Structure 1
Amino acid sequence: MKILPRAVLRGWAATLVGLVATLGMLGPAATAAHAATAPPHFTNGFGLTVVSQPKWADVNERTFVVTVKSAQVPAYDVMQDQVSDEHVIMVTLPRGYDGTAGTRYPVLYYLHGSPEYPNSPRNQTLAERSTKGVPLITVAPNGSGHGWYTNWVHPDSRGRQNWETFHLDELIPFIDTNLKTIPARAGRAITGHSMGGFGAFHYAEDRPGLFSYVGSFSGVLDLQNPLMRAAVVGSGLLPTIGTPLAAPDAIFGPPVWPLDQAWNKASPAQNVGTLRGMGVAMYAGNGGDLTVDPVLAVAERLDRQTAVTTADHLRTAGIPYRFADYGDGSTWAKGCHGKHSQDVCLQADMNDFVKLIMKRLRHP
């Protein structure tokens, strides 16, 4: 057996000691690298007070929830587990987001439907899957079970129900101040599902200077349609969608002529003129087999008709648009049957919309 010189042994020993020391130093660092990182810290401003700082929704650390208060909607009709004077906002960040770096990102505002929570597991999945690998921030604010994304005409004892003011004048600058956004029209898009589809078009039409793209996923886009008026009024009379119950004229005023001016003014289908120069997209199925889930089938068919009416007005106005009119869903997404509020259909809607807006939005 060959005897190694002492100098070599000493060298190996020194190397081994150094390796052990290095590993000892790297151990805590490696542990820290895998430890949870804190979500962004939010400060009060623009009329919003932070009730609870952002908390990650799960260990993936892409989506967090922050809770605020607003004097524009000091109390609202709550569903189970909601607190009437607190508003949950869910935010999904792009992978690699760094609040200390100079990189800024565009924002997609997603307005939920009714009855739904902004931070529902489904909405988190929609945002995270559609933006995987995409440099885009997604923000889903509370819209209540029947807030209808508007400033109510007769809120009565609730106090102000100024949902539009809350979202457009308070939330948007609040997000731009607390996150690394592109705080300009070129850095914003808005969309929503069902009630939220109405909200997205209503907001974009009222404030076209804020958004460069608008979308609707099976949205309620025609408030001149008597069946849609009945749906809005009815949503305020169901305890599962929010209590206390809302009077028929609470949101848009009386739903009958000649007292229905607020309904007509807020109806997206007939007020598309301000969308000129903006990207516009609508998505809807036809309900598919009406004998399967007939309530959801009929709801989708009615919402599709409001999109058809909106498309007619867009075409007359000479405004380009995309209408993904996917029928029974068989060619749109696997497992999509063209029903209302079907997860796989909505995910396909969101995936397509994100691809569209990223061609127009300013981004890294």
Structure 2
Amino acid sequence: MSSLPPAWRLRAKTAVVAAALAVSVAASLPTPAAHAEGSTPPVLSDGFGLTQVAGATEVHSPTDFTFTVTTRQLSGQHRIRVFLPRGYGDDPGKRWPVAYFLHGGGGTVDDAAAAPALRSDSMITVVPDGGLKGWYADWVMQNTSVGAANWETFHLTQVVPFIDANLRTIADRGHRAVVGLSMGGSGALHYAQARPDLFGHVASLSGGIDFGMAEIRGAVLATELNLTGAWCAASTSTPSGTGRCTGYGPTVDSDAVFGSPYPVFNADRVWNAVNPAATANLSKLAGTEITLYTGDHDIIDRYTAIAAHRVKTRLDRLGLPARLVDYGDGSTLAPTCNGGHNYGCWAPALADYVSRLETSFANAG
């Protein structure tokens, strides 16, 4: 493992405890099979590099199921949870908007259960595995203890077309959104920038969206080095954030995800290239509906608030409209929210966002 200078080692350790955030094909698609309400979930067909694991599907209800896939882009098996609208089976000819929800570091696809609003009757919600510390990136290093780690390729070139081929989605950017929290908030904004042809709507909640901040780089390092702490507990699927987080998985090199984090002789060029807060990347969001949420009342969301306000300022300078909701101590958001990095705030924030997204989808025709 590459050694960290003392200052960066301290940042990495304190990042998790204090400031971590970890924090197209529509015309050619086959018609998915009709699905009757009250029956088992739809039968899905392998494709786009994804192979389903036989016998691994978890059926929570006919409109809530989790299937498991393998892919050459990632080592191991990976779960994808799907929430269908309750009326999905009523009209076999009807197609639906779709939202992709990206969970936080140390989390799983089951974290989505902590936000009831994600079970919308107006859209399909897809929750793909993002890894304990995947950071929604194709890693610089592919030979670490976690093996192949091409998370961005997995999500954008495999999962999205797989879902469009197997479920009755409206497969255009006006009817497709990406939303994430903490590590997933960073991933959501990056994905919307990387593939504006796919996503017409993006939301980041308490996201680590400015890689120019040493505190956020420290958060990534902390996940690589598996330095668990207070935020890790908050990333679980319990609304109060009191559930137990098992950590970020095997320790990997501190340069594994984005390369060297040190701003010396352009060593941090990958960080800069994919920084969601970089003006060049934000400019790619022209025509995209952008929403940012953050609290500012614990030592973690103190930094997500700084990042969110920086991004909003840069979007304003670019003339790109965006909605920023800084709910501060949480008192204006919901009784469950203390302004911190937890589902007590994220669940009501998602309720606010999903209701607005439903309207935007409806207006898209």
Judge same fold: TM > 0.5, yes or no: yes
- Indicate if the aligned counterparts of 2:193 and 2:285 stay in contact, CA closer than 8 A: yes
- Residues 108-123 of structure 1 correspond to what in structure 2 (within 5 A)? 108-120=99-111, 123=112
Aligned residue number for residue 256 of structure 2: 250
Aligned residue number for residue 27 of structure 1: none
CA distance in 2, matches of 1:64, 1:54: 11
Kindly indicate whether residue 267 of structure 2 is the aligned counterpart of residue 280 of structure 1: no
- Indicate if the aligned counterparts of 1:90 and 1:119 stay in contact, CA closer than 8 A: yes
Letter in 1 for 2:157: D
Kindly indicate whether residue 137 of structure 2 is the aligned counterpart of residue 150 of structure 1: yes
Q: Per-residue deviation at 1:95? A: 0.8
Aligned residue number for residue 63 of structure 1: 64
Q: Per-residue deviation at 1:237? A: 1.0
- Residues 16-165 of structure 1 correspond to what in structure 2 (within 5 A)? 37-52=39-54, 55=57, 57-58=59-60, 60-73=61-74, 75=75, 85-98=76-89, 101-120=92-111, 123-126=112-115, 128-132=116-120, 134-157=121-144, 158-165=146-153
Letter in 1 for 2:354: V
Deviations 1:280-339 (A, max 9, x none): 00000112xxxxxxxxx1111111111111111111111000001110000111221101
Aligned residue number for residue 78 of structure 1: none
Aligned residue number for residue 291 of structure 1: none
Q: Per-residue deviation at 1:57? A: 4.5
CA distance in 2, matches of 1:107, 1:46: 18
Higher relative contact order structure (alpha carbons within 8 Å, sequence separation ≥ 6): 2
CA distance in 2, matches of 1:299, 1:242: 17
Q: Identify which range, 329-338 or 240-249, moves more after superposition.
A: 240-249
- Indicate if the aligned counterparts of 1:155 and 1:251 stay in contact, CA closer than 8 A: no
Aligned residue number for residue 263 of structure 1: 271
CA distance in 2, matches of 1:217, 1:347: 10
- Indicate if the aligned counterparts of 1:54 and 1:64 stay in contact, CA closer than 8 A: no
2:137 is paired with a residue whose SS is coil
Deviations 1:86-118 (A, max 9, x none): 100010010121287000001000000011111
- Indicate if the aligned counterparts of 2:118 and 2:125 stay in contact, CA closer than 8 A: no
1:151 is paired with a residue whose SS is coil
- Indicate if the aligned counterparts of 1:146 and 1:241 stay in contact, CA closer than 8 A: no
Letter in 2 for 1:248: S
Question: Which protein is bigger by CA-based radius of gyration?
Answer: 1
CA distance in 1, matches of 2:259, 2:118: 37
CA distance in 1, matches of 2:287, 2:302: 29
CA distance in 1, matches of 2:260, 2:270: 9
5+ residue gaps, structure 2 = 1-36, 228-245
Length-normalised TM-score, structure 2: 0.79
5+ residue gaps, structure 1 = 1-34, 76-84, 288-296
2:108 is paired with a residue whose SS is coil
1:169 is paired with a residue whose SS is helix
Aligned residue number for residue 223 of structure 1: 211
Letter in 1 for 2:126: V
RMSD value over aligned CA atoms? 1.9
Length-normalised TM-score, structure 1: 0.80
CA distance in 1, matches of 2:336, 2:249: 35
CA distance in 2, matches of 1:99, 1:261: 51
1:340 is paired with a residue whose SS is coil
Residue identity (%): 38
Q: Per-residue deviation at 1:129? A: 3.2
Choose the corresponding residue for 1:208, options 176, 179, 196: 196
Letter in 2 for 1:61: P
Choose the corresponding residue for 2:187, options 199, 205, 210: 199
- Indicate if the aligned counterparts of 2:82 and 2:127 stay in contact, CA closer than 8 A: yes
- Indicate if the aligned counterparts of 1:188 and 1:211 stay in contact, CA closer than 8 A: yes
Change (3 A) 1:161 1:99: farther
Q: Per-residue deviation at 1:361? A: 2.1
Letter in 2 for 1:209: D
Aligned residue number for residue 17 of structure 1: none
Change (3 A) 1:125 1:230: closer
- Indicate if the aligned counterparts of 2:117 and 2:354 stay in contact, CA closer than 8 A: no
Q: Per-residue deviation at 1:137? A: 0.5
Change (3 A) 1:143 1:99: farther
Q: Identify which range, 63-72 or 241-250, moves more after superposition.
A: 241-250
Deviations 1:122-157 (A, max 9, x none): x1241x43444x310000000111000011011224
Count of equivalent residues = 305
Choose the corresponding residue for 1:176, options 164, 172, 175: 164
- Indicate if the aligned counterparts of 2:210 and 2:275 stay in contact, CA closer than 8 A: yes
- Indicate if the aligned counterparts of 1:212 and 1:361 stay in contact, CA closer than 8 A: no
CA distance in 2, matches of 1:192, 1:57: 24
